[in-house]
Amino acid sequence: MSAEHHPRDRRTARVGLVLFLLTAVLYVATAGYQRVHIDVLSADVGAWRIAATGEPSIDGLDTSSINRSRVDLFSTVHDGRTVIARSPGVVAAGVPAYALRQWVTDAGPDAEDFTTVPPTVTAALLTALSVLLMWGALLRLTTRRRATAAALVFALATPVWSVAADGMWTHTLTVLGVSGMAFGAARDRWLLVGLFGGIAVWGRPHMALVAAALALTCAWVRRRPGIVARVAAVGATLTAGASLWSYWLYGRWSPSGGYAPAPYLSRGAGAQYEFNQTLGGLLRNEAAMWLSLDRGILVWTPVVVVLLPLLVQTWRSQPAWTRALFLAGVGYTLFQGAVAPFHGGDGIYGYRHGLEFLACATPALVVATARVGRRTRVVLTVVIGVQLAAFSLGGVLNRPTLSFRHHWNDNAFVSGLRDVPLLWAWVAISVALVLLLSRMFLREGAREA
């Protein structure tokens, strides 16, 4: 590389470092250390027991002081021992931080020694890494300023902040996986795609659909079957590791960990859920993933709606990998809507089952912004400002949240605005801030420093 490129490369590296540090500090400071969802708490307990005792069993552990919710920890019995029943990744990802704590503090394996801090900090840092990887992918699609702006929207104005960065959710790993796959595909580094696809599978096994769709599509378009071989070789190795983990904990080779696939896919008596036993119930659940007021992807992140017409206009000119990733995200979300209720449980601000689509769609939507006109730009900026107001509230407080019966007909942020009218001032400030920053840094003709 010639010397004349070095200053710009160094500046790009500094921007990336600042972006990572900014999101990492913010995520760590605002993560959910006290108000922990039962899904996350269960994974935390599983990781802690492995680090503290070397075994996954929670037998003999008094969980009453750990779990103060009305829902029991997710557990199952294998080979005469009770173990936490979660996907492999959310438990495994928390073990190193707990092991470090054990080494530093010599904490014991009793209930009074338990804390949610190590995996929560880990989740915050992994999500900051996701933002950095997404930014790195977007650099290959647009200017540095626009890539940075888009990465900040991804990081601060979506449930990436209020869910993925809040604790060790499966979505923490899947968002990392999609961001890493985008980074690898943008650079034609398919071993990286396989690596991050495998990480995503440790979070949710059906993320294999996304990795496979991305690899197969790009291999077909580019007439390069080696792409599939590279992705499959690394991805299959990591998937085998998830299967080995599942065998250790649960005595079965499925990479789904504590979740047996059959009850979720069943349409008969004894199925895990009732909604997918009729066509009407299934279609309602699929629609709710996108349109329900408190869980809908398009309701919480209307930026997708604003950019959808431009996405259609730019579709044929988009890189193959952005198109493949977008369609894979749609397919994944439809599959998710067929196997699990749209709401994902109570105590969640925003949506969680749509996070994989959001990550998959981001590169294609960023390419679509190249066609944004003056009026659409204003609408887009206002929408992003409102999203920032909404998710800064949820990211910092993780509230207000609504119960099951309100997921269709009410919205947590709107409910907050009704109850605390002063929040309208925060909406106005957020919109004004985004408008100002957009005018300062993204106006037509702005130079790349």
Structure confidence by residue, pLDDT tens digits, 112-158: 899 999 999 999 999 999 999 999 999 999 999 999 999 999 999 99
- Please check the confidence at residue 270 and state whether its pLDDT lies above 90: no
pTM recorded for the entire structure: 0.94
- Joined tokens for residue 306: 């604003």
d(CA 121, CA 61): 24
Q: Is the bond preceding 7 in cis, omega lying within 30 degrees of 0? A: no
- Please check the confidence at residue 269 and state whether its pLDDT lies above 60: no
By the 8 A CB rule, do 261 and 267 touch?
A: no
Positive or negative torsion for Cα 242, 346, 210, 161:
negative
Q: Which residue has the higher pLDDT, 257 or 29?
A: 29
- Please check the confidence at residue 448 and state whether its pLDDT lies above 90: no
> If DSSP states are collapsed to H, E and C, what string results for 182-197?
HHHHHCCCHHHHHHHH
Could you tell me the pLDDT band of residue 4, with boundaries at 50, 70 and 90? very low
Structure confidence by residue, pLDDT tens digits, 321-363: 999 999 999 999 999 998 888 888 888 999 999 999 999 999 9
pLDDT reported for residue 265: 54
By the 8 A CB rule, do 448 and 145 touch?
A: yes
Token look-up 């983990």 returns: 245
User: For all residues of the chain together, what is the average pLDDT?
Assistant: 91
- Give the residue-averaged pLDDT of 187-207: 97
